Amino acid sequence: MGRPLHNERFAETALPKRTALPVFSADSLSSVAYAPDEIVLTLALAGISAVALSPWVGLAVVLVTAVVVAAYRQNLRAYPSGGGDFEIASKNLGRKAGVVVGSALMVDFTLVVAVSMSAAAQYLAAAFTSLIDHRTEVALVGVLLAGLLNLRGQQFMGRAAVVPTYLFVIVMFVLIGVGVVESVTGGLTPAPSSSWDVLPTADQQTAWSTLAMVMLILRAFSSGAVSVTGVESVAGSVQYFKKPKGRNAGTVLTIMGAISCVLLMGTIYLAQRTGAVVVLDPAAQLRIDGRAPTEDFYQNPLLGQLARSVFGLDTPMFYVVILATVLVLVFAASTAFSGFPALGSRLARDSFLPRQLKARGDRFAFTNGIIALLVAAALLVVLFRANVNGLVQLYVVGVFTSFTLTQAGMVRHWRRQRRYVHEPAARRRLIGTTVLAHVAFVLSATVLVIVLVTKFAQGAWITVVAMCLLGGLMLAIRRHYDFVDRDLKLERNSSARALPSRVHAMIIVPSVRKPAMRALAYARASRPSTLEAIVVDVSPAITTRILDEWRRLEIPVPVTVLDAPYRNSVQPVIDHLHRVRRRSPRDLVVVYLPEYVVGTWWERILHNQSTRALAGRLRFEPGVMIASVPWRVDSGDPAQTSSAGSGLQDPSSERTETR
Amino acid sequence: MGRPLHNERFAETALPKRTALPVFSADSLSSVAYAPDEIVLTLALAGISAVALSPWVGLAVVLVTAVVVAAYRQNLRAYPSGGGDFEIASKNLGRKAGVVVGSALMVDFTLVVAVSMSAAAQYLAAAFTSLIDHRTEVALVGVLLAGLLNLRGQQFMGRAAVVPTYLFVIVMFVLIGVGVVESVTGGLTPAPSSSWDVLPTADQQTAWSTLAMVMLILRAFSSGAVSVTGVESVAGSVQYFKKPKGRNAGTVLTIMGAISCVLLMGTIYLAQRTGAVVVLDPAAQLRIDGRAPTEDFYQNPLLGQLARSVFGLDTPMFYVVILATVLVLVFAASTAFSGFPALGSRLARDSFLPRQLKARGDRFAFTNGIIALLVAAALLVVLFRANVNGLVQLYVVGVFTSFTLTQAGMVRHWRRQRRYVHEPAARRRLIGTTVLAHVAFVLSATVLVIVLVTKFAQGAWITVVAMCLLGGLMLAIRRHYDFVDRDLKLERNSSARALPSRVHAMIIVPSVRKPAMRALAYARASRPSTLEAIVVDVSPAITTRILDEWRRLEIPVPVTVLDAPYRNSVQPVIDHLHRVRRRSPRDLVVVYLPEYVVGTWWERILHNQSTRALAGRLRFEPGVMIASVPWRVDSGDPAQTSSAGSGLQDPSSERTETR
């Protein structure tokens, strides 16, 4: 879809900060639509009293965000080429670390799409109650839409993301601002959900202990850590920034981190003031006067509840909040759709994925990447029935794996730098940076361990398995390419350069018609040392007819008739070839295959099947060249149509170099 | 599966009569397992009194069988080549009639398999009650089994069919013989089903009239006419008989028809004597003292009921009857599995199906035919949930379409013969034969009309639609081949034979490695008039590296660098080709494509994608030949491996003809 972009237009796609911020931070900022929910919901499992801890959990997340962002500012300056975490890990820690980061990020891109669209479906259902039972379908449509829009090209979606991201940020600031003012002046309406009693869950009663409590709080933190995701997206997109790319990306990262933290804390604050509650299983956990909610009870996500409390139900602003949230989530998914093929192309350049994917901006690679992501995300949505909480358990693992390895790589990078920096001020700065990298590494690793421990059984194991499979595949592909590279390397006196002494031409003649005659003419024009026409005697009647025609047309080429006792037309040719090659092993044998070229796929089924089988078999024979002579059915004389379709040519695009 | 058959072994597969009878009559004889049921069941719709008509309906079927068999004896003598109905219709009535017969028979082969295996499942359920609710699965397994066994080859299944068919015939004669003796001596136990009252059905009460009654009787006759099927199977398999093929096939046909009639009438007779009843819908139609049968009531098919009455429940002979019936049904399906690809190959020889299917005994064609039939039959079984009555409504249409057109053709054939026969005795015989052909034609046409009228809404329309679709497809394929044949026909001074004056060679160089060097060496060995290496400048770094290497290796071939502004490597080559061809339109351009040849399919995904895209595109260019130069990865020096795999060769299979 869309026209290919000319190389020279590539520079145009470099984005100024004011555009880059909304384009790349949709992923990060949109997590405020589900991260606070996850914190509150997990704490609610430990009883309503634990919910009071949510600001502290939020602060822990803010701390992690601050450290990660600070560290990445340095990373981006050190590696402004846009390879992102994959490049840092590969260069400093080696191939395997790079592959782990690569597969972790690919899995996480998939989860960004699945989580964002599931959350979007949840918000739509909050505004339009008729969608409550169709959230899976809505999320699927969303995944499809985001994928298709991205097929139209990164540029289009990039520009389009500006509006919803700014809109979302403004709306959220208004929501939090008005909420805070109302809360201070006492005008804040309590959330409808504040009237529910939250029951302690079963595992609370049986295994109640300090350890279980701590585990739940840590799990709440793990879930809240989704708020930190999105940093790696910016890191992988530095090449789209205006110069100085690294510094500009760093600034955008800082602003993004700051906004993200404000939104997270603001939301948690308002949730506390309005008494809004979300729980994992409303039917089991919520009670009013001992009665459970009815069958058709739908639990609004936090932002929906807050918008109701602050602006009132069914006010225009309520719908604006929902709409802005849904839009920013769609564009968060869109970020993944542009990041995924870019990462794929980076991995392909290092031979971890099929090399045909490496061309940046090539439609083929881009399209296949988007389709792969679309299918994987759609599968996740269906498997988890668009359940945000279920999907979040799989999330974050990949991002923090990537953070941890990246920071490990940066620690090594900065240490190595010490050798080259001697000027005292620069050296002090470097020490500071190195310390920061260490802190970020330890913190990321700690978060990763917490996430793995608290979420492994809940679903993180799926991510780990997926990462291992992907990583194994990438290493296998790389090994194959390495093997081929070694095998194909040209030595100075390689036999590959040896000129065959003589050329023996064989023309396969299935019938005396135009294609075979053209093949014969081309073979003769190439003036081989010897020339023979091959007729495979599958049917005596046909063979006789061919030989008769041959004589009648006085064709000056000898015919060899090959017996086909098993009515298979391929093996006799191969056997004959072996005989010829045994007679003169240093000769080149050129097998001329006449081919009908037809237009449609169903016509193609009707022709050339045995020619194709023969060509496929001949490829495995040494010292053989396969010459396909196409005859376009309905083509007429080639001389008459030779200039067809050449109107597009541009003489300036040809340069001849003579040795 | 299985080793290919040598041509010379083909004669061995000719069958003597005693083997041919069981091999080809399984289809026909097995219909006694469901044809009497269908007669009784349809008559029961008109009330229990109508069931008394079943012998008369049976006699009508016997009459049709006798006339059809008598007519086909003549047909087989006139056309002993094994083309069967398709050949007779095509030769005497033209292409369209042939296509109608061809598609009718293909549809009917599918129905033979579906009906036979559904009936087999019904009989198995009668013996093993735990299978009652799994008849669809049992029938599916049967379809699969029959298909897979046939993949092992016609010959094996042919020989294997001897035992079950003879067993079935003997068992049936014993059943009927003992039953008749018991009935005469008064020792015959009434069937359990004789105690049921059969209620008149709803449409009997509302639309009771002579017409409705007549329609039901005619429908009973239509359903009973399945007993006549199988004749066309023998007619299409004449080539497998020992000489004189036509006469032997005729004898087998007569014996088969006679046995078939005896079994049909015997079964109907015993059904009457034991009072056995089968109905379409037991819950609605059966009552004892006004009570409907319970939920788990299973209606045994007639042969099962008769075996119970004659031999007693759970006696060994009861199980022998069931087993023999199931086996003969499996081999009936097997007949279709061998007839279907044979018909397909016949149709392909006349270009109504893809020509690659035409090689008789070719594993490829044979396998594809069997798989197609297997899938279609399995689909029918699933759609109809292995309901024999439902499937029988679709059946018979094709067979009688074929009979009718064949006899129309034979009428014309015999009339034409009159011109050449003058000897009085022969002329009298000819007149007799002609009259018989007329009678058979009129009778077949009448049956066809009855079948269409009484069953159209019940399901025959599906058959008609399928026949039209298949027929349309065949005519389209034939039209395409005819067009191509005209297009490719060689005129004496065709431009296809013109030798190009000069040869311009282009070698596509994606990298300076062994495959490209081999392509270059082969191109140089072919001594073209001009020679250039083409480098598509997709990445400046790679292009520079190629040019450096080129200079370093002192390769004496000029390099043309083509700009690829859209990072697509195909279009620049095509544009360049157009420029070259415009400069010298009468030259031949040979494009040399180096190719890595790898072993497995997943390795293939990793290589040659852009080469393949270029080759595909080049096929549509006039005056171009595509030379693939394979380099087998891991192959080493071709000279060292040149004699690999040539151990099988046989010098005697080469004959050289010099003009």
Q: What is the mean pLDDT of residues B613-622?
A: 87
ipTM: 0.72
Asked if A488 lies within 8 A of B7 by C-beta distance, the reply is: no
* pLDDT at position B658 over 60: no
Q: How far is A651 from chain B (nearest CA, A)?
A: 8
**Residue A321 belongs to what H/E stretch?**
helix A316-349
* Confidence bin at B9 (pLDDT 50/70/90): very low
> Within the 87-116 window of chain B, which residues sit less than 8 Å (CB to CB) from chain A?
none
**B480 shares contact with chain A (CB less than 8 Å):** yes
Q: Is the pLDDT of residue A13 over 70?
A: no
Least confident of A648-657, B213-222, B284-293: A648-657
pLDDT at B587 over 70: yes
Query: What whole-number distance in Å separates Cα of residue A234 and Cα of residue A76?
Result: 9
Q: Residue A480 is nearest to which of B558, B606, B610, comparing CB atoms? A: B606
Asked whether the predicted pLDDT for residue A643 surpasses 50, the reply is no
**Nearest CB to B503: which of A525, A631, A637?**
A525
Amino acid at position A26, single letter: A
CA gap B502, B587 in Å, rounded:
5
Cβ contact B117:B330 at 8 Å: yes
User: Which pLDDT value is given to residue B439?
Assistant: 94
Q: What is the pLDDT of residue B643?
A: 37
Query: How many contacts, defined by CB atoms under 8 Å, are there between A and B?
Result: 339
DSSP for A390-439 reads HHHTTSSHHHHHHHHHHHHHHHHHHHHHTTT--SHHHHHHHHHHHHHHHH
Is B522 touching A (CB cutoff 8 A)? yes
Asked which of A77-86, A579-588, A646-655, B10-19 is least confident by mean pLDDT, the reply is A646-655
Does A385 have pLDDT greater than 60?
yes
**Res B640: pLDDT:** 38
Assess whether pLDDT exceeds 70 at residue A651: no
Mind spelling out the 3-state secondary structure of A193-243?
Answer: HHHCEECCCHHHHHCCCHHHHHHHHHHHHHHHHHHHCCHHHHHCCHHHECC
B83: Cβ contacts below 8 Å, ≥ 6 apart: B90, B236, B346
Residue A530 C-alpha, separation from nearest chain B C-alpha, in angstroms: 12
Structure-model confidence comparison of residues A135 and A649, the more confident one: A135
CB contact under 8 A, A643 and B585: yes
Helix, strand, coil distribution of chain A in percent, nearest 5: 70, 10, 25
Q: Do the Cβ atoms of A213 and A304 come closer than 8 Å?
A: no
Q: According to the model, what pLDDT value does residue B201 have?
A: 65
Token output for B636: 């080493």
Q: Structural domain boundaries of chain A? A: 10-81+153-287+298-324+386-482, 498-632
Maximum average pLDDT range among A191-205, A391-405, A609-623: A391-405
Q: Can you give the length of chain B in residues?
A: 659
Coil, helix or strand for B507?
Answer: strand
B chain contacts of residue A499, beta-carbon cutoff 8 Å:
521, 524-525
Which residues numbered 547-576 in A keep a CB inside 8 Å of some CB on B?
Answer: 547, 549-551, 553-563, 565-568, 572, 574-576
179-198 in chain B: CB under 8 A from chain A = none
Partner A contacted by B544 (CB < 8 A): no
Q: How confident is the model at residue B140 (pLDDT cuts 50, 70, 90)?
A: very high
Asked if A637's CB is within 8 angstroms of B619's CB, the reply is no
Alpha carbons B108 and B236: distance in angstroms, whole number: 13
Q: What is the CATH number of domain A498-632?
A: 3.40.50
Contacts of B10 in chain A (CB under 8 A): none
Q: How far apart (Å, rounded) are the C-alpha atoms in residues A218 and A229? A: 17
**What is the pLDDT at residue B214?**
83
Instruction: Determine, for residues B595 and A356 on separate chains, whether the beta-carbon distance falls below 8 Å.
Output: no
pLDDT, mean of residues A507-530: 89
- Helices then strands, counting H and E runs in chain B, come out as 24, 8
* Strand (E) or helix (H) holding A78: helix A54-78
Q: Taking CB atoms and an 8 Å cutoff, what residues of chain A touch B610?
A: 356
Q: Distance between CA atoms of B597 and B630, rounded to whole angstroms?
A: 6
Interface check for A635 against chain B (CB to CB < 8 A): the answer is: yes
Q: Does B538 touch chain A (CB under 8 A)?
A: yes
B94, amino acid identity: G
CATH 3.30.70 assigned to B500-633: no
Least confident among A300-304, A317-321, A345-349, B400-404: A345-349
Q: Which of A156-170, A539-553, B635-649 tops mean pLDDT?
A: A539-553
A221-235, B168-182, B350-364, B505-519: least confident range: B350-364
With a cut of 70, say whether residue B6 has pLDDT above it: no
Q: Nearest CA to A229 among A506, A30, A78, A474?
A: A30
Contact B521 A631 (CB under 8 A): no
> What's the rounded Cα separation, in Å, for the pair A88 and A97?
9
Mean pLDDT of B565-572: 81
B chain contacts of residue A488, beta-carbon cutoff 8 Å: 513-515, 596, 631, 633
What CATH number is given for B12-479 in this structure? 1.20.1740.10
Instruction: For chain A, give the percent of residues with pLDDT over 90.
Output: 37
Q: How confident is the model at residue B364 (pLDDT cuts 50, 70, 90)?
A: low
Pinpoint the alpha helices (H) of B418-460. Answer: 424-455
Of chain B, the percentage scoring pLDDT greater than 70 comes to 89
Tokens of A153: 């090209």
Distance, in angstroms, between B620 CA and closest chain A CA?
A: 7
Selecting from B563, B620, B627 the residue whose C-beta is nearest the C-beta of A627 gives B627
Report yes or no: B615 at the A interface, CB cutoff 8 Å: yes
Mean pLDDT of A51-78: 91
pLDDT of residue A209: 67
B510-566, pLDDT tens digit by residue? 888 888 999 999 998 888 899 999 999 888 888 999 999 899 888 889 999 998 877
Provide the pLDDT for residue B548.
92
Residue B642 is predicted with a pLDDT of: 37
- B151 vs B145: CA distance, rounded Å: 10
Residue B360 contacts A where some CB pair is shorter than 8 Å = yes
pLDDT at B5 over 50: no
What is residue B639's predicted lDDT score, i.e. its pLDDT?
39
CA distance B285 to B292: 8
* Residue A354 · residue A148 · CB < 8 Å: no
Q: For residue B118, what pLDDT is reported?
A: 95
Give the confidence band of A93 by pLDDT, cuts at 50, 70, 90: very high
Q: Does A479 touch chain B (CB under 8 A)?
A: no
Residue B158's pLDDT band (cuts 50, 70, 90): low
All residues of chain A having their beta carbon less than 8 Å from the beta carbon of residue B646 are 575, 578-579, 581-582
Rounded to a whole number of angstroms, the distance from the CA of A564 to the nearest CA of chain B is 8
Beta bridge pairs of residue A288? A291
Report residue B417's pLDDT band, with 50, 70 and 90 as the boundaries.
confident
Among A225-234, A512-521, B501-510, B579-588, the range scoring the smallest mean pLDDT is: A225-234
Q: Give the residues across from A286 on adjacent strands.
A: A198
Whole-angstrom distance, CA of residue B262 vs CA of residue B255: 11
Nearest CA in chain A to B504: A526
State how far the Cα of B462 lies from the Cα of A577, in Å rounded to an integer. Answer: 52
Ranges A328-332, A436-440, A633-637, B230-234: which has the least confidence = A633-637
Residues of A in contact with B5 (CB under 8 A): 566
3-state SS track over B591-602: EEEEEEECCCHH
- Using one digit for the tens of pLDDT, what is the confidence trace for A331-369? 888 888 888 888 888 888 888 988 877 765 556 667 778
- HSE-CB at A188 with a 13 A cutoff on CA atoms is 26
A655–B contact, CB cutoff 8 A: yes
The whole-chain average pLDDT of chain A stands at: 84
- pLDDT tens digits for range B307-326: 989 998 788 999 999 999 99
User: For residue A507, what is the enclosing H or E element?
Assistant: strand A503-508
Planar angle of CA B108, B109, B113, nearest 5 degrees: 110
Strand partners, B272: none
Are B575 and A500 in contact (CB < 8 Å)?
no
Task: Work out the average pLDDT over A563-576.
Answer: 85
Q: What is the mean pLDDT of residues B570-596?
A: 91
Q: Enter the DSSP assignment of B458.
A: I
How high is the pLDDT of residue B638? 43
pLDDT at A203: 55
A565 within 8 A of B7, measured Cβ to Cβ: yes
A525 close contact with B: CB closer than 8 A: yes
- Among A271-275, A286-290, A420-424, A541-545, the range scoring the smallest mean pLDDT is A286-290
The confidence band for B65, taking pLDDT boundaries of 50, 70 and 90, is: very high
Read off the pLDDT of each residue in A230-243 and give the average, rounded to a whole number. Answer: 80
The model's pLDDT over A591-622, given as tens digits with 9 standing for 90+, comes to: 999 988 887 777 777 777 778 888 888 988 88
